[in-house]
Structure 1
Amino acid sequence: MDMRKHAKPAARGRRQASGPSARRRMYLVAGLLGLTATGLVARAFDLQVVRKQFYQRQGDARFLREMPIPVSRGTIFDRNGEPLAVSTPVTSIWANPSEVLDNDQRIPDLAHALGVDADELKSRLAQRSDREFVYLRRQMSPEAAQAVLDLGIPGINGQREFKRFYPSGGVTAHVLGFTNIDDHGQEGLELAYDDWLSGKPGAKRVIRDRMGHVVEDVEQVRAPKPGRNLTLSIDRRIQFLAYSELKNTVDKFQADSASMVILDVHTGEVLAMVNLPTYNPNALDSSRAGQRRNRAMTDVLEPGSTVKPILMAAALSSGKFTPTSPIIDTTGGHWYFQGHDIHDTHNYGLLTPTGVITKSSNVGAAHIAMDLDTTLMYDTYRAFGFGNSTNSGFPGEASGYLRIGADWRPLEKAILGYGYGLNVTVLQLANAYATIADNGLMHGPSFIKGADTPSRQIISPEVAHELIGMMETVTGPGSTAPQARIANYAVAGKTGTAHKANAGGYDKHSYTAAFAGIVPASNPRLVGVVVVDNPSKGSYYGGMVSAPVFSRVMGGALRLLDVPPDNIGRWYVGGPLQGTGGLAGSKPPVEAPIDDAPIDEGTP
């Protein structure tokens, strides 16, 4: 039997049996492929369309960053273009703590480069491991920072910043103030003009690699706007001269502190302002708060006899007094008034009003004060700026204190005549003298060169001229301040020696020594005020302690500014009563320094 005949139908059966199964498998595979393709398309649609922005943000967060573009703070110049405050580029090192901790075997190298303890650095990073940005060290020099970055430690990055530097150090510290680590003004003119100096940082988008290094700048988001420069009225040369002389005086007399202010008479511009003790604004950590205080602006003092020219301005304006009349009896050197002893250091006898200034007689000043209308005296003191801020714009400027005239008791009025019972700042006192120097015209003091400050007439030019003549006698024979003289220049001024107040009244052994002066007297250009607080070695009189500082500093300033001499070959122009020093009689004056004596300790 031929078996091949029977085999063929079986094979066809097998093929017929397997046909539908193969197609089903093919359909299944095709379906799976279709579903996969559909899923991929759906996933792509979800990624590219539905959640595109989310994933874009996530990607950008890892590689695309917005970085600030730092700007330099404006430079501060003195009036002659010398830099007083400049900003220098520095680099701050920051870290992504988690990345650094993932490579903790490199932490010792990092700590060594930063100059810190490795264990402390690791602990600090561990405590902040949930953050992405932590400063490790601010404001390193670019070279030192680059040495850190060259280590190539993952998560370590650098950020460019600017650091403030003050070339004059402590000499100009109280005027300029300082900035904080973020370059924002904290005190002084840095604070007062912070908006002007700061500028506006820019911003840009960059792409960073996984190490945090910038590999590409994408775009500028915001253009940087650098800070604007500022030109001050300060003359750095005069500032250095005042600082040097004041420091020598503080050391010589072992004083607690001292201040000096120099003003341009015709503009009110501050040419110099120095305080001691001072500090180095480039090394703030080594200073104390008391050292950083601008005493000429923030501290007040009883001006003592330096206020007598202001009293005399009221007296001359009243019409009751002239430089030579009436005669004032100070015989005995004491006036017992309402149970209190107002006294002088010597018995000056009969004095003219000029003699009261020349000899700095407290008794004479008290008599003049009591002869004046209270309202006129108060209004004059107030007009000269006592009890009011000078509106210089300096942060923390004190207003001083002057009680309302209507509330003055008779004794209070008497002692106000020679500078007790009120408080002023050194700048206020300088501004009052500058008013006299500029024919009675008061300018608002300014620290900015060329500033347009308001001005107003306080006293008549005639009264101002008479006052200057009276104050010239203060540096003449038999006066209180021969040591304030300047060779070839006529000097008008006034000494002041005042007891310092304490909780129980006045301290018998603590003084403020002051001198305020105008040069050249015939054509005033500069006013200078020197105040030395509590000189404890040697003399404590204003004519012996502060007047010599005035002479040396102002003499140098006049030469630096090329101010023509007005008194060549002579030390002194005698003023309205030449040869008598303002005395009413003809007795020859004593060629010796005589200064003011303050009120008794128990006097209120």
Structure 2
Amino acid sequence: MRLGNPGRRLNAALIAMAFVLSLFAGRLIQLQGLDSKVLQAKAAQQRVQPEILPARRGSITDVGGHDLAVTADAREIYVDPADVTPDKRDLIASTLAVELNLPKESIAAKLAKTTQRYIVVARNIDPPRAKKIMAYGFKGVGSKATYRRMYPGDSLAGGLIGFVGFDGHGLTGIEQSYDKTLAGQDGKQSVEIGGDGQRIPMTRTSRQAPVPGRGVRLTIDRDIQWAAQESIARQVKATKARSGSVVVLDVKTGQIVAMANAPEVDLNDWQSTPEQDWSNRAVSEVFEPGSTNKVITAAGAIEAGAVNDDTVFRVPDHITCADREIRDAHPHKPEPLTFTGIIAESSNVGTILAARQISDQKLYQMFQSFGFGAKSGAGVPGEEEGLLPAYQNWSGSQRCTIAYGQGISVTALQMASVYQTIANGGVRVTPSIVAGTTDERGKFVPAPAPKQTRVVSQETARQIAGMLEAAVGHDGTGVEAAIPGYRVAGKTGTAMRYDEKCKGYCGYTATFVGFTPADAPRLVALAVIQDPKNGHYGGEVAAPVFKDVMTFALKSRKIPPTGTKAPRVVLQAGR
């Protein structure tokens, strides 16, 4: 038997070993030389974990600094299914279900997703409860520091304030429109984490501190806002109406003192509120104003020098406009009404007769001057412009109906602004909702003064104010708005309501708007109720809401009666 050459076998073995070693050497050169920077970056990426440090959101307050929206410390409970052993899943699911008041099945389903490393189980948990959960010592269950948005008033000014989503950013209302101011700027930090998920001691960390959000102070008064919401909600329910709104303005400053809606969204449980009730109807819902619009027609006619408050018209109960016959609310024989009597008794026919004294263009320009067809400038989120058709496009009947408030559309805020202008001696002050913000040091910074524009002369405003005071008098349509001891000026409105559901006019819009004291105006209030079923006239449905809200506001603001008596006015010639 012949043996192999041992030298040859040794050479073969050495060649094989050299080849393997060359492979190792090549790989080592690649790892430590050619690819070292790339691999170092990947290692650092796996080891160094970035973390967002959320900024505390700024508060929203009322004009007196009372909190309407605040931010509180909270915790987010999460699970890492990959770290939960199968034998512990049922225990963890059962425990978390009890502590968080959640279905056990939903938690168990999350624990079963072993390919995911971070699944949120619950948000906005109070820190003490989160601490109790963490005390169980369950591996794979964690707690993360976050913030929770809270609304002390629940539904107070809900449509106006709005709410934030799960990401902490505003979804509606002031929360959305002032999101950049309120949100601040999140910070960042990075820490080195070992394979067991724990921080490596003595390792370097980097941290960029978050910048807290700034506060926003609104012009609304918390107490008057509450009274307005209570009153409109009560009346909407009593009349079985679809919805309603109230706006209260300060005559001199144009500040929005209250802006209430019914129904109103509960900000602490907005997910349970129908989406159609999230909006601020006082600025988003447009409607035909009806007779409250007659003051603009009156202003146009008086400004043009065509009439004055004691001009007498022979007013029948119906009038022909192109192809339509338009009637007053109640039949009557032809009456010798003064212009004051026409407004006080809310005669459609008399208003049309006055409107015929001026051109369509002048009437249209007066509407524009009072702010129709454009946003009010208040900066209220969700505000609509309304509808003001160009006068060149008015039909034969429309030039009559527009004079008494049908054929144009406005928001509650736009109409309240009209009466603020009259109450302020003919000077329109652009409405405002934000009184100011806080700066980086927490110091209050007032908002710029609103724009003031003269719309009509002081004399025209005085005459119209007298007409409106007569409308709340014994023979007027607004007697239900009278407040004992105070002189009140105001106007009712009852308009046919256009509804998309019936593709035409079905139902009514009932309105009352006015100011007091009539001879030294301080506050304007408007109440509008959409599609009431128990009654539909503005004088019977909306005027009582005005009275309730204004009475409360006068007491809250400590506004005394002037002690004067309303002058005697003539509604019919010869009386």
* Match in the other structure for 1:518: 515
In the TM superposition, structure 1's runs of 4+ consecutive aligned residues that sit over 6 Å from their partners are 38-50
Q: How do 1:4-83 residues align onto structure 2 when only pairs under 5 Å count?
A: 53-54=37-38, 56-83=40-67
Give 1:186 deviation, angstroms. 0.4
* Match in the other structure for 1:495: 492
**1:541 counterpart = 2:537:** yes
* Match in the other structure for 2:472: 475
**1:266 counterpart = 2:263:** no
Query: Quick one: which of 172, 183, 192 aligns to 1:187?
Result: 172
Rounded Cα–Cα distance in structure 1 between residues aligned with 2:124 and 2:59: 18
Residues 119, 249 of structure 1: alpha-carbon distance in 2 compared, 3 angstrom cutoff: closer
Give 1:396 deviation, angstroms. 2.3
Q: How do 1:392-407 residues align onto structure 2 when only pairs under 5 Å count?
A: 392-407=378-393
Give 1:393 deviation, angstroms. 2.2
Rounded Cα–Cα distance in structure 1 between residues aligned with 2:331 and 2:474: 16
The worse-fitting range, judged by mean Cα deviation, of 496-505 and 57-66 is: 57-66
**1:584 counterpart = 2:573:** yes
Give 1:315 deviation, angstroms. 0.6
* Match in the other structure for 2:88: 106
The structure with more radius of gyration: 1
Give 1:495 deviation, angstroms. 0.4
Per the alignment, in what secondary structure is the counterpart of residue 356 of structure 2? helix
Residues 298, 143 of structure 1: alpha-carbon distance in 2 compared, 3 angstrom cutoff: same
Query: Quick one: which of 295, 315, 323 aligns to 1:330?
Result: 315
Give 1:137 deviation, angstroms. 2.4
* Match in the other structure for 1:150: 135
Rounded Cα–Cα distance in structure 1 between residues aligned with 2:366 and 2:121: 60
Q: What letter is aligned with 1:488? A: G
* Match in the other structure for 1:532: 529
Give 1:132 deviation, angstroms. 3.4
The worse-fitting range, judged by mean Cα deviation, of 59-68 and 235-244 is: 59-68
Q: How do 1:312-391 residues align onto structure 2 when only pairs under 5 Å count?
A: 312-325=298-311, 327-331=312-316, 333-344=317-328, 345-347=330-332, 349-391=335-377
Residues 249, 446 of structure 1: alpha-carbon distance in 2 compared, 3 angstrom cutoff: same
Query: Quick one: which of 550, 559, 562 aligns to 1:563?
Result: 559
Q: What letter is aligned with 1:544? A: E
Q: What letter is aligned with 2:327? A: H
Q: What letter is aligned with 1:573? A: A
Per the alignment, in what secondary structure is the counterpart of residue 159 of structure 1? strand
* Match in the other structure for 1:457: 454
Give 1:119 deviation, angstroms. 5.5
Query: Quick one: which of 270, 273, 291 aligns to 1:287?
Result: 273
The worse-fitting range, judged by mean Cα deviation, of 220-229 and 388-397 is: 388-397
Q: How do 1:180-329 residues align onto structure 2 when only pairs under 5 Å count?
A: 180-208=165-193, 210-214=195-199, 218-325=204-311, 327-329=312-314
Per the alignment, in what secondary structure is the counterpart of residue 384 of structure 2? coil
The worse-fitting range, judged by mean Cα deviation, of 341-350 and 264-273 is: 341-350
- Give per-residue Cα distances to partners, 1:292-351, cap 9 Å, x unaligned: 1211111111100000011100011110111111x11113x1223334221121426111
- Listed as ranges, the gaps of 5+ residues in structure 1 are 1-31, 587-604
Residues 505, 186 of structure 1: alpha-carbon distance in 2 compared, 3 angstrom cutoff: closer
Rounded Cα–Cα distance in structure 2 between residues aligned with 1:117 and 1:173: 30
Rounded Cα–Cα distance in structure 1 between residues aligned with 2:128 and 2:139: 20
Rounded Cα–Cα distance in structure 2 between residues aligned with 1:336 and 1:226: 65
Residues 274, 120 of structure 1: alpha-carbon distance in 2 compared, 3 angstrom cutoff: closer
Rounded Cα–Cα distance in structure 1 between residues aligned with 2:174 and 2:342: 40
Query: Quick one: which of 409, 413, 425 aligns to 1:427?
Result: 413
Rounded Cα–Cα distance in structure 2 between residues aligned with 1:126 and 1:505: 55
Rounded Cα–Cα distance in structure 2 between residues aligned with 1:138 and 1:271: 35
Give 1:42 deviation, angstroms. 11
Residues 220, 504 of structure 1: alpha-carbon distance in 2 compared, 3 angstrom cutoff: closer
Give 1:456 deviation, angstroms. 1.6
Rounded Cα–Cα distance in structure 2 between residues aligned with 1:505 and 1:59: 69
The total of aligned residue pairs comes to: 540
Q: What letter is aligned with 1:585? A: G
* Match in the other structure for 1:11: none
Give 1:171 deviation, angstroms. 2.3
Per the alignment, in what secondary structure is the counterpart of residue 488 of structure 1? coil
Rounded Cα–Cα distance in structure 2 between residues aligned with 1:456 and 1:410: 32
- Give per-residue Cα distances to partners, 1:223-280, cap 9 Å, x unaligned: 2100001110010000001111112212222222110001111222111001101121
Residues 430, 42 of structure 1: alpha-carbon distance in 2 compared, 3 angstrom cutoff: same
Query: Quick one: which of 431, 439, 442 aligns to 1:445?
Result: 431
Rounded Cα–Cα distance in structure 2 between residues aligned with 1:370 and 1:428: 25
- Asked whether the 8 Å contact 2:345–2:476 carries over to 1, the reply is yes
Residues 207, 312 of structure 1: alpha-carbon distance in 2 compared, 3 angstrom cutoff: same
Residues 63, 147 of structure 1: alpha-carbon distance in 2 compared, 3 angstrom cutoff: farther
* Match in the other structure for 1:20: none
- Asked whether the 8 Å contact 2:323–2:397 carries over to 1, the reply is no
- Asked whether the 8 Å contact 1:107–1:118 carries over to 2, the reply is no
The worse-fitting range, judged by mean Cα deviation, of 387-396 and 477-486 is: 387-396
- Give per-residue Cα distances to partners, 1:561-593, cap 9 Å, x unaligned: 12232136xxx614xxx154x22231xxxxxxx
Residues 535, 441 of structure 1: alpha-carbon distance in 2 compared, 3 angstrom cutoff: same
Residues 167, 411 of structure 1: alpha-carbon distance in 2 compared, 3 angstrom cutoff: same
- Asked whether the 8 Å contact 1:114–1:137 carries over to 2, the reply is no
Give 1:472 deviation, angstroms. 0.8
Per the alignment, in what secondary structure is the counterpart of residue 136 of structure 1? strand
Per the alignment, in what secondary structure is the counterpart of residue 132 of structure 2? helix
Give 1:430 deviation, angstroms. 0.7
Q: Percent identity?
A: 33
Rounded Cα–Cα distance in structure 1 between residues aligned with 2:65 and 2:90: 47
- Give per-residue Cα distances to partners, 1:395-447, cap 9 Å, x unaligned: 32111101101121231111111110000010110111111111222222211
Give 1:522 deviation, angstroms. 1.1
Q: What letter is aligned with 2:492? A: T
- Give per-residue Cα distances to partners, 1:163-190, cap 9 Å, x unaligned: 1111111121011011001110000111
Residues 136, 370 of structure 1: alpha-carbon distance in 2 compared, 3 angstrom cutoff: same
Rounded Cα–Cα distance in structure 2 between residues aligned with 1:242 and 1:211: 58
Give 1:209 deviation, angstroms. 5.1
Rounded Cα–Cα distance in structure 2 between residues aligned with 1:274 and 1:42: 77
- Asked whether the 8 Å contact 1:567–1:573 carries over to 2, the reply is no
Rounded Cα–Cα distance in structure 1 between residues aligned with 2:134 and 2:197: 11
TM-score (norm 2): 0.87
Per the alignment, in what secondary structure is the counterpart of residue 528 of structure 1? strand
The worse-fitting range, judged by mean Cα deviation, of 255-264 and 117-126 is: 117-126
* Match in the other structure for 1:28: none
Rounded Cα–Cα distance in structure 1 between residues aligned with 2:512 and 2:420: 14
Rounded Cα–Cα distance in structure 2 between residues aligned with 1:350 and 1:215: 94
Give 1:218 deviation, angstroms. 4.0
- Listed as ranges, the gaps of 5+ residues in structure 2 are 1-16, 436-445
- Cα RMSD over matched residues? 2.7
The worse-fitting range, judged by mean Cα deviation, of 386-395 and 298-307 is: 386-395
